[in-house]
Structure 1
Amino acid sequence: MDKPLKNPPTYMINSVDHALRIATMLQLEGELSVSEVAERLGVARSTAHRLLAMLVYRDFAVQDDRRLYRAGPVLELAAHSPSLASRLREATLPHLHRLVDVLGESVNLAVRTGDTVRFIASVECSQSLRVSSREGMVFPAHRTTAGLLLLAELADEELEAVYPAGRYADRPADRPDLDRLRTELARVRRNGFVLNQGRSERGVVALGVPLRSPDGGALAGLSVSMPSTRYHRHRLPSLVETLSRAAGAIEADLARQA
């Protein structure tokens, strides 16, 4: 259930992966303690402390007089000039927590960059069997719920630009069949949502709706993920309605901020 949707490098360097994840958390979330970092990474406090010490040494983090860590000089530009992704995350997180309370399943927010999507916010449910947090992870757009929602916004020529054949010359299997993808995206546009049954991960069902800007363009994909054993077709209308209401509330908050 917890296996990522993309393949890790052949020679996975866990310490580097942990450090990059900490940097992402500091940039997106703000202050963190050693205990919080250790819990999030699933490592010992001593390991978390060593990783944070290295980030401080390289100016990716700083420690204040309360012994809390925050983004350092290397990351502070983004902290003081919030990106669209960080503003989206801040506006969305309260709604994600409410969605988890209502649906009892894990929920996510993801944005698209080229042919990939990045999960910028994720809240896990409390059930013992659950879909784990995808926050900070990057996956192929055409294999994910949010990715399909956002690709559906593109015109044919824009879709071609996302998947030029030359870019995949040395890895043709990674390029989707564009005719088949266009058919799928047309269905997404008609339905207004994506139902992903095992497409990106075996045993997982995800359902998503777009999150739109005031001008109507899709900013991100809002989704709920659950073990396939807990999904039943009769739940589809209520799930879509609940997600759509949440998306509308987030859009209203973003409009007020703007």
Structure 2
Amino acid sequence: MDKPLKTPPPYPIASVDHALRAATILQMEGGATVSQIAERLGVARSTAHRLLAMLVYRDFAVQDEDRVYRAGPVLELAAHSQSLVSRLRAAALPHLHRVVDLLDETTNLIVRTGDTTRFIASVECRQALRVGSREGMVFPAHRTTTGLLLLAELTDEELEEVYAPERYRDRPAERPDLARLRTELRRLRRNGFAVNKERSERGLVAVGVPVRDRDGTSLAGLSVSMPGVRYDPHRLQPLVAVLETTARALEEDLAEQH
């Protein structure tokens, strides 16, 4: 049976349509300038500039040193395999709820794309003082718990490629010190877990472990986040034990789906 033709909504919002079309152009065609987007959409350059600025703000686009706009972390998630992300999220949610039941702290599932990490699932705890949902948010990989764990899986050559100086030509202050980062990643490989104390956000502490495929490749990271005032170092090992047990159970569920 043929699919029905798409019909436009009765009250279309032109600005939303323009933003979505601009995002699609960046994702499908690799990049565009303000003038090119303006021409394709049939809008003024000032309008195209405002659209692209909002896409950059929401991580749907980035602007490189030659002023060309390209797909940002949100759109690059497709390269990570959208089907894998959807499968990970669906399989993980029951496990995240169980961790929240056990620990009463907000629990997250995170994937890495290049030098960023994206929260693909988040379940809030019930405490009045809590870390809110981070679902959909993007952070620098080297500033998040599970981002560090996923970076620890890379070889020195792969790490160099992720943090190549030319990628940071217009934002050198955001490039981490690779010598210090390698030292930290070696320690994380030995430990098998990571602790983030106010590295990504003030007043927040997170603990995380990797979630692996059947061949041992890290697919994602599982973490709990809590206000720093509630973190007790003496709780670290029990927290890690719950996370590792949960990660193994999630891995088994994912393996059964193949």
Normalising by structure 1, we get a TM-score of: 0.69
State the alpha-carbon separation in 1 of the partners of residues 145 and 173 from structure 2.
20
Q: Which has the higher contact order (CA 8 A, sep 6+)?
A: 1
Q: What is the aligned partner in structure 2 of residue 116 from structure 1?
A: 116
- SS of the equivalent of 2:110 reads strand
- Paired with 1:256 and 1:170, the residues of 2 have a C-alpha distance of 45
Aligned equivalents of 1:95, 1:167: Cα separation in 2: 37
In the alignment, what sits opposite 2:142?
142
Distance 1:191 1:146 in 2: 13
Q: Is 1:167 matched up with 2:167? A: yes
Distance, in Å, in 2 between the alignment partners of 1:136 and 1:102 is: 24
Partner SS, residue 109 of structure 2:
strand
The structural deviation recorded for 1:83 is: 1.1
Aligned to 1:188: 188
Question: Which residue in the other structure is 2:105 paired with?
Answer: 105
| Other-structure match for 1:257 | 257
Residue aligning to 2:214:
214
Q: Distance between the aligned counterparts of 1:116 and 1:231, measured in 2?
A: 25
CA shift in 2, pair 1:179/1:225, >3 Å: same
CA distance in structure 1 between the aligned counterparts of 2:167 and 2:237, rounded to whole angstroms: 39
Q: Say if 1:82 and 1:201 are closer, same or farther in 2 by CA, change over 3 A.
A: closer
CA deviation string 1:198-245 (max 9, x = no partner): 111111110000000000000001000000111111100100000000
1:249 partner SS: helix
Aligned counterparts of 1:91 and 1:105: Cα–Cα separation in 2: 20
Q: What is the CA–CA distance in structure 2 between the aligned matches of 1:197 and 1:150, rounded to whole Å? A: 18
CA distance in 1, matches of 2:204, 2:170: 30
1:239 aligns with 2:223: no
Deviation digits for residues 114-134 of structure 1, max 9, x if unmatched?
Answer: 000110000001111100000
Which deviates further from its counterpart, 81-90 or 173-182? 81-90
Structure-1 residue corresponding to 2:66:
none
The CA distance in 1 between the partners of 2:215 and 2:167, in whole Å, is 32
> Structure 2: which 5+ runs fail to align?
1-14, 21-77
Q: Which runs of 5+ in 1 are unaligned?
A: 1-14, 21-77
Which amino acid is the alignment partner of residue 132 of structure 1? G
SS in structure 1 at match of 2:206:
strand
Scaled by the length of structure 2, the TM-score of the pair is 0.69
Task: Give the secondary-structure state (helix, strand or coil) at the position aligned to 2:127.
Answer: coil
Shift of 1:82: 5.8
Give me the whole-angstrom Cα distance separating, in 1, the residues matched to 2:203 and 2:191.
Answer: 23
Q: Write the deviation string for residues 162-199 of structure 1: whole angstroms up to 9, x where unpaired.
A: 01101111110010000000011001001000011111
Identity of aligned residues (%): 72
Q: Return the letter of the residue paired with 2:105.
A: E
Count of matched residue positions in the alignment of Structure 1 and Structure 2: 183
1:93-122 Cα shifts (integer Å, max 9, x gaps): 000001000000000000000000110000
RMSD: 1.7
1:76-105 deviation line (CA, Å, top 9, x unaligned): xx9xx9610010000000000010000000
Q: State the AA in 2 paired with 1:130.
A: R
The answer to whether 1:125 aligns with 2:125 is yes
